[in-house]
Homo-oligomer: A and B are copies of this chain.
Amino acid sequence: MKEGTFELPGNCRLTSDYDVLQWDVREGCEVRQILDRIADKWSLLVIALLDKRTMRFAELLRSIKGVSKRMLTTTLRQLERDGIVERTVYPTVPPKVEYNLTPLGNSLHETVKALVIWTEANQVKIAEARDRYETRQSEGL
């Protein structure tokens, strides 16, 4: 393996021209930054839920158990900023704000969905692996 080709700095660019995924150090790229954003716990759930649907803030808040108002707001703002979700404000009383995926967000949704479905499909295997791990812990060392 060539030294240096797998470097993965804060600002980097990656190329996937090879069978083995290669990380290439280049000037001013933001792959890591973007990946950190969309691979975020709450972002993934928001993207997964907003599939060809429009949801209001409170609806998302109720749907994603465990998220706080502040984090949901932050997450949605970031996704809006990155052009993944669209935010529509209705100047009514009481206020009404709707969120939906942009075309860019929809293209990302496919991948996120695949990740979620993988998780669903393999939860039993993972649970078994955990059991084996725990067993090994209490037995061996």
Contacts and interface: CB of A to CB of B under 8 A. Distances in A.
Contacts of A83: 125-126, 128-130, 132-133
A140 to B, nearest CB: 12
A14 B81 CA distance: 28
Contact of A123 (B20, B30, B49): B30
Interface in A58-93: 62-66, 80-84
A14 to B, nearest CB: 6
A1 to B, nearest CB: 8
A133 B20 contact: no
A52 B51 CA distance: 33
A53 interface: yes
A31 interface: yes
Nearest to A43: B39
Interface of A: 1, 6-10, 12-16, 19-21, 23, 29-32, 34-36, 38-41, 44-45, 48-49, 51-53, 62-66, 80-84, 104, 107-108, 111-120, 122-123, 125-130, 132-133
